[in-house]
Amino acid sequence: MKRTILMASAMALLAGCGKTAEAPKLAAPLTSGIDGQYIDAAIRPQDDLYRHLSGKWLDSFEIPADKARYGSFTKLSDDAEANLKAIIEAASAASDAKPGSEAQQIGDLFKSFMDEAAIEANGLKSLDDALKNIAALPDSKAVPATMATLTLLGVGTPFVPFVHQDNKDSTLYVVDLYQYGLGLPDRDYYLKDTEKYVQTRTQYRAHIEKMLGLTGDKAAAAKAKAIFAFENELAKLQWDKVENRNPVKTYNKVELAKLAELAPGFDFAAWLTAGGMAGKLDYLIVSQPSYITGVAKLLQTAPLDTWKAYLQWRVISEYAPYLPKAFVDENFAFYGTVLRGIPENRPRWKRGVELVEGSVGEALGKLYVEKHFPADNKARMEVLVGNLLAAYKASIDTLPWMSEATRNEARAKLAKFSPKIGYPVRWKDYSKLVIMPDDLVGNVARARAVGYQMEIAKLGKPIDRDEWGMTPQTVNAYYNPEKNEIVFPAAILQPPFFDVAADDAANYGGIGAVIGHEISHGFDDQGGQYDGDGNLRQWFTEDDLKNFKARTAALVAQYAAYEPVAGYHVNGELTLGENIADLSGLAIAYKAYKLSLGGRPAPVIDGLTGDQRFYLGWAQIWRGKDREPEAIRRLTVDPHSPPAVRGNGSLVNQAGFYEAFNVKEGDKMYLPPEARVSIW
């Protein structure tokens, strides 16, 4: 992933070990950075800081009809989306774009999505070849090659390849096999018998039948029944999300010659050839070996007609958003309304922007950065990142539960962190992508194939450390353990996360805690199993590992007690990594904020102390609401805790929070000191 010009300055800051950078001086008086218009004075911050700050908003805000959730991230995403629309429409209106240029690709891709008349006239013609090839499968031996061909088109099959660095040799690219291929969000939707899941299963079977019926298939009902039963068998074979969080358990190196032993009867040679991987690797990393074995067995036991129906269903379902209106509407009725509770589909232009982003995201990002990412934002972020890294090192130096041997390893890892801010130093090349203004499905298929080929082309080549895993217009951030890097796209560097006009307290509680969150992923229960070079290696001593696990077990129990929806608790194990990152990131951001003051007292602004603004800055970035079906879906599949839980969950463990708001025994947010969890 791509290095930015930040690298030299941030690492120089880190090398100084306890020195902190001074923020650039701004001429205008600094604001508090806290949006206080929704404060509910009837709720004490000592009882519920999150609802104290946002109670009026939570009680009055109506989630837009085309959304499943809304919050601070959504607001910024909407703003970015509007900016992208203007860029795309300008490209679409241009008549002089050079064929094959990024402007032509952006403009014509959007045109093809917005041309509903052409889409209706085309019907399913653009999918004819794929569907006929599946129908013509002579026997089950031909299924593996077809699965690989469908992967090129972006169609999910029972398992899919993923190119990334070898977890135990981060200098090499490797192909990992991941379980996939379910039409419902997770195996739990098939296997658990809660009322909501049972109801959803019934609606899903009806949805399959309706979609197949739209193709004119006279056997839609029988096929829907067979497809659901087949997916149910896949679900029984799949590992759950907690198991899949274990990087050691999911690292299973299998030489190509041994694949026949793992998956008897599955023609991996044909799969590799059709997927363009033959001759480019000597082994695969199989994340869930028992699942791959089970899929191979299904290849022998499930009727060929069931496999055909299933694969055709996968094609139709994956491409439904780009087909005539009847398919779009039925696809949304299930995946939007049933699964997520959304009453209305998004306006067509928004879905068109989403398609362009997903297809030529960095070409669009290049134009976005030119118009919407001020240089001052990057300069202030460099200071924040430098101070967070320095604070993290100071914390490592003084952890009471860690031995010197582990401490030295942690220092070494932190010293190798690679921060990236704003945008890549080198952009992706989309020159091989052919986009036509009147061929939507073809454009989608070609874009997916080019993206796939970009990934496969990495095999056998040096690691591209300049590559980014998100576009600049993405409102998010991430840590990549294999490259030991933290990445902050341009679009998140705006209020309430980051405000150049605000005093540092709110910025440290907002984007500072987000920075600390991403750094902390390098030391959570997953990322902490990788060393500074990105290799999966236990660098904790046995005693320190026991101490670490005892602390994380307490955090699992804390979060498992939250019940955001009646009958549905937070999965403390699934969300552990994110909860560790929230907890530790906030604690480190607080230390960094204190370091940034250089011993000077923080100003009181709008009646709030610096420490109060810091913690309110944290609470306000998690302001958000979910529709109930979406909340249930996320509690099942999302490794992040719900917004209200994130807003308060880390605070009860922070000593600084107790001091800032004078939280005492008897207050609802009070935990006795011995029950508070502190890790990094």
Rounded to whole angstroms, the Cα distance separating 316 from 304 reads: 18
Question: For residue 234, is it within any domain?
Answer: yes
pLDDT higher than 90, residue 16: no
Same domain? 608 vs 669? yes
Q: Over pLDDT 90: what percentage of the chain?
A: 93
Q: What is the pLDDT of residue 456?
A: 97
What residue has token string 């040799």? Answer: 169
Same domain? 247 vs 305? yes
Q: What is the pLDDT of residue 455?
A: 98
Question: In this predicted model, what pLDDT tens digit does every residue of 185-208 receive, in sequence order?
Answer: 999 999 999 999 999 999 999 999
pLDDT higher than 60, residue 302: yes
Rounded to whole angstroms, the Cα distance separating 209 from 222 reads: 8
Rounded to whole angstroms, the Cα distance separating 389 from 496 reads: 22
Rank 379-388, 451-460, 496-505 by mean pLDDT and report only the highest: 451-460
Rounded to whole angstroms, the Cα distance separating 299 from 65 reads: 42
pLDDT higher than 90, residue 380: no
585: its two tokens: 């990131």
pLDDT higher than 70, residue 462: yes
Q: What is the pLDDT of residue 503?
A: 92
User: Please, which pLDDT band fits residue 12 given cuts at 50, 70 and 90?
Assistant: very low
Cβ atoms < 10 Å from Cβ of 441 = 19
pLDDT higher than 90, residue 129: yes
Question: For residue 472, is it within any domain?
Answer: yes
Question: For residue 100, is it within any domain?
Answer: no
Same domain? 512 vs 651? yes
Same domain? 290 vs 388? no
The total number of structural domains in the chain stands at: 2
Q: What CATH number is attached to the domain comprising 582?
A: 3.40.390.10
Question: For residue 441, is it within any domain?
Answer: no
Same domain? 214 vs 152? yes
Question: In this predicted model, what pLDDT tens digit does every residue of 566-595 receive, in sequence order?
Answer: 999 999 999 999 999 999 999 999 999 999
pLDDT higher than 80, residue 22: no
Q: What is the largest CA-CA distance in the chain?
A: 77
Q: What is the pLDDT of residue 2?
A: 32
Beta pairing, strands 283-286 & 169-179: parallel
Q: What is the pLDDT of residue 379?
A: 85
- The domain boundary residue, chosen from 279, 299, 322: 322
Q: What is the pLDDT of residue 15?
A: 29
CA dihedral (466, 470, 471, 476) positive or negative: negative
Question: For residue 36, is it within any domain?
Answer: no
Same domain? 16 vs 154? no
* Residue of 304, 338, 283 whose CA lies nearest to 627: 338
Rounded to whole angstroms, the Cα distance separating 657 from 615 reads: 7
pLDDT higher than 50, residue 597: yes
Q: What's the start-to-end Cα distance of the chain, in Å?
A: 26
Q: What is the pLDDT of residue 375?
A: 82
Residue-level length of the chain: 680
DSSP letter string over 345-375? PPPHHHHHHHHHHHHHHHHHHHHHHHHH--H
Who's near 116: CB < 8 A, 6+ residues apart? 325, 348
Question: For residue 562, is it within any domain?
Answer: yes
- The domain boundary residue, chosen from 322, 353, 383: 322
pLDDT higher than 60, residue 11: no
User: Please, which pLDDT band fits residue 377 given cuts at 50, 70 and 90?
Assistant: confident
Same domain? 298 vs 397? no
Q: What CATH number is attached to the domain comprising 233?
A: 1.10.1380.10
pLDDT higher than 70, residue 4: no
pLDDT higher than 90, residue 21: no
Rounded to whole angstroms, the Cα distance separating 470 from 456 reads: 18
Ramachandran region of residue 99, left (φ > 0), alpha (ψ -120 to 50) or beta? beta
Q: What is the pLDDT of residue 74?
A: 96
* Residue of 424, 347, 348, 450 whose CA lies nearest to 105: 450
Q: What is the pLDDT of residue 376?
A: 80
Q: What is the pLDDT of residue 96?
A: 85
* Amino acid letter for position 480: N
Same domain? 141 vs 70? no
Q: What is the pLDDT of residue 560?
A: 97
Residue 443 CA to its chain's centroid (Å): 25
pLDDT higher than 80, residue 10: no
pLDDT higher than 90, residue 27: no
Rg (CA), the chain: 26
Q: What is the mean pLDDT of residues 588-604?
A: 94
Question: In this predicted model, what pLDDT tens digit does every residue of 148-190 receive, in sequence order?
Answer: 999 999 999 999 999 999 999 999 999 999 999 999 999 999 9
Same domain? 68 vs 146? no
Three-state SS annotation for 423-437: CCCCCCCCCCCCCCC
Question: For residue 666, is it within any domain?
Answer: yes
Question: In this predicted model, what pLDDT tens digit does every residue of 495-541 receive, in sequence order?
Answer: 999 998 999 999 999 999 999 999 999 999 999 999 999 999 999 99
Q: What is the mean pLDDT of residues 58-87?
A: 97
User: Please, which pLDDT band fits residue 28 given cuts at 50, 70 and 90?
Assistant: low
* Amino acid letter for position 587: A
Q: What is the pLDDT of residue 378?
A: 86
Question: In this predicted model, what pLDDT tens digit does every residue of 321-341 receive, in sequence order?
Answer: 999 999 999 999 999 999 999
363: its two tokens: 């070409």
Question: In this predicted model, what pLDDT tens digit does every residue of 655-677 receive, in sequence order?
Answer: 999 999 999 999 999 999 999 99
Question: For residue 488, is it within any domain?
Answer: yes
- The domain boundary residue, chosen from 284, 301, 322: 322
Same domain? 288 vs 419? no
Same domain? 165 vs 238? yes
Beta pairing, strands 418-422 & 485-489: parallel
**Strand extents, DSSP E, 83-183:** 159-166, 169-179
Q: What angle do CA 628, 630, 632 make, to 5 degrees?
A: 70
Q: What is the pLDDT of residue 185?
A: 96
pTM (predicted TM-score): 0.91
Q: Over pLDDT 70: what percentage of the chain?
A: 96
Same domain? 70 vs 155? no
In terms of residue numbers, what domain contains 294? Answer: 127-322
